[in-house]
Amino acid sequence: MQEIAKRAEMREKLSPQLVLSGAIAHYLLSGLDELKDQEFDKEGKVYTGALKFLEQFKMVNGGVIPSPQELIHFKKLTHELANLQLYAIVAGWDKKRFLREFGGQYEAPLLHSASFALLISGYEKSLLENFAKIVRGEISYGFGGNVYRNPVINHLASDALMSPASNSIVRDLRDKFPDRQILLELGSGSGNFSKKFLLAYPDVRALVTDINPAVFETAGENLQNAGIEEERYEISVLDMKDEKGLEEIAKRVGDGRLIVHIGYILHEERHLAIDTLRALSNVFRGKDVVFAFSEYYEQDDITDSVPLHFQGLHYMTQDLFKRDEFIMTVSGGEFGFIPHVDGNSDPIESVHNSYINGEGQKVITNSTTYWKLK
């Protein structure tokens, strides 16, 4: 009983930032210890991203790295939260039910972070446990590499984290672009966005695509379970930067009024963003298309609104854009994208997350911007 009381007291004092970032730090510090006195590429993204993460982890904890024993405890607690979130998703619980069921065992801030814990667990067996091997070049990380994040866990966690944003995008698309006939979702994953869109637009059909062949199972099951008629959607494997594949879709769409949605993928690699924007521009120029690009943006400040356990995890695997940089990338150069504007000539944007910085300015951390081609 004393041990249970002691653990409960510890949990009361623990912030999600400390616990979840501490779990990641446990793996990275263990990997760095293994790499001591070894030769490896010190310019690689995984290595430099890990150093950046640990530097910020120390900073947000007052200049101190918790002890190895504390980090192991944070890892175990992160596992617990991830398993609770997974159980709740499978059981079909909403957030209120989740908090009610487990509120007596865990503090509310930790329970609210359980989706992040589940996201981290999707990287555990691939990136985190193999950190030293990846840095040494013994194995490669990424889609098509030796190891990659768990696709099922990643989809479940991402859907839980991004569901409010997806609801906002669907609502704004319906309000601002009510005449659309077809949705093309690139990088659909589980097809959760397409599901929400089809349920909100009863007269629209969707082309649901992903580079991973598992899309047939994951998205197909998701759409089927939602009761959406099979004639309203098509599922196919497509690399979003594949111009020939996009041309085939453009032929099938014809003169239909199209929405192209890319959700939180363009930041994975800069060449992916550039190649995809170029392919979309080449294929869909002259057609009636609304492009909706959803992104979360790298921030200089680590705050509760920009948690290290989320942003920092991506330092090692992706190329996050600053918001202004993303806008300039889409609108600049050869592509010919221009923003859709409202009645006041302001660019239309669905803001999903923001915070007020120390200078009293609103900082957008996650949004969807809407574009058309000249």
Q: What is the CATH number of the domain that holds 238?
A: 3.40.50.150
What's the pTM? 0.91
> Given 149, 182, 204, which residue is the final one in a domain?
149
The string of pLDDT tens digits covering residues 274-284 is 999 999 999 99
Neighbours of 126 (CB within 10 A): 21
Distance CA 374, CA 155 (A): 34
Q: Who's near 202: CB < 8 A, 6+ residues apart?
A: none
Whether 157 maps to a domain, the answer reads no
- Same domain assignment for residues 197 and 260: yes
- Same domain assignment for residues 287 and 172: yes
- Same domain assignment for residues 211 and 85: no
- Same domain assignment for residues 232 and 346: yes
User: Residue type for 142, please?
Assistant: G
- Same domain assignment for residues 218 and 348: yes
- Same domain assignment for residues 310 and 363: yes
- Same domain assignment for residues 169 and 218: yes
The string of pLDDT tens digits covering residues 2-24 is 444 444 444 446 899 999 999 99
Q: Could you tell me which of 362, 333, 358, 360 has the C-alpha nearest to residue 349?
A: 362
- Same domain assignment for residues 145 and 170: no
Amino acid 373: pLDDT: 96
- Same domain assignment for residues 186 and 119: no
> Given 92, 122, 149, which residue is the final one in a domain?
149
Whether 109 maps to a domain, the answer reads yes
- Same domain assignment for residues 234 and 351: yes
Amino acid 358: pLDDT: 85
Distance CA 282, CA 149 (A): 32
Q: Provide the domain count of the chain.
A: 2
Amino acid 372: pLDDT: 96
Token pair listed for 32: 């760095």
Angstrom CA distances, 118 to 14, 77, 121, 150, stand at 18, 12, 5, 11
Whether 159 maps to a domain, the answer reads no
Whether 158 maps to a domain, the answer reads no
Whether 156 maps to a domain, the answer reads no
CB distance 334 to 278 below 8 Å: yes
Amino acid 9: pLDDT: 47
CB distance 64 to 54 below 8 Å: no
- Same domain assignment for residues 137 and 35: yes
* Range(s) of the domain holding residue 213: 164-373
- Same domain assignment for residues 84 and 187: no
190 SS3 class: coil
Question: What residues in the chain have per-residue pLDDT under 50?
Answer: 1-12
CA 81 to chain centre: 19
